[in-house]
Amino acid sequence: MHVIGDFTGTGQCIIDDHHNMLILHPDHLISSTVVADSFGCLRRAVLQDRVKATNRANAPMLYGTLLHELFQEAMKANQWDSVFLFETIEKLMPSHLETILEINSTCEAVKEHLSSKLPELQAWAKIFVRADPQADAIVRERNGRQSTMSINKLLDVEEHVWSPMYGLKGNIDATVQVTMRDDQGERTLTVPFEVKTGKNSSNAAHIAQTALYNLLLSDRYGMSFTTTGIPS
């Protein structure tokens, strides 16, 4: 086991819900997504491991995957104009043709749906993908604290991170460098960025997943842990 925390002069470390951590079997790496899903159901992780069920493809799953890939390509190229995004959609279609047929749809229908999402994607990038934070790039943390933020560098896409320190592993959509500015000054941070295409933006599992990814990055890059909220 790993005990992570502050020890007294007599070698004691008190662990509770708010201070310090006890990691059992840290060499057995557990997916951060699985841990985060346990916030909704404690049995879910065990059931998913023991019952290997596969779901049929559906439209929301396909659209979510395509939007992830489209977003990542735009981030890598740092291009958000309509011409580039339409060209990227065309390039993504062939690799998903079987799934499109499985859900009884057509390439044209899928392209039309993705095209309807482009204005939101471009509006978000215009506000947040900048060299420095601007007044309209506002993010709010769970404690009500407010900051302005800019994403000014993409470090990696689909980064696989393993942490024997915390017994966790994860596959992060994007690792980015951000500049946060608030009443306490300006900070440059390396943070995980997760793209969530569902409508439930207050899902506790999503918040937990991002917090665990912060732990993974802090271990990999030797940084202090931050729970700064990043909009997705």
Structure tokens of 70?
A: 């489209």
Block means of pLDDT (10 residues each) for the chain, 232 residues, are 89 90 91 86 80 78 93 94 96 94 93 94 94 90 84 92 92 93 89 81 78 90 52 34
pLDDT of amino acid 224: 55
Assess contact for 88 and 70: CB atoms under 8 A: yes
pLDDT at position 232: 33
pLDDT digits (tens, 9 = 90+) for 130-171: 999 999 999 887 777 889 999 999 999 999 999 988 999 999
H or E element that contains 3: strand 2-4
Cβ within 8 Å of residue 182, ≥6 positions away: 145, 146, 147, 148
Residue with tokens 């569902």: 198
pLDDT at res. 202: 57
- DSSP 8-state assignment for residue 43: T
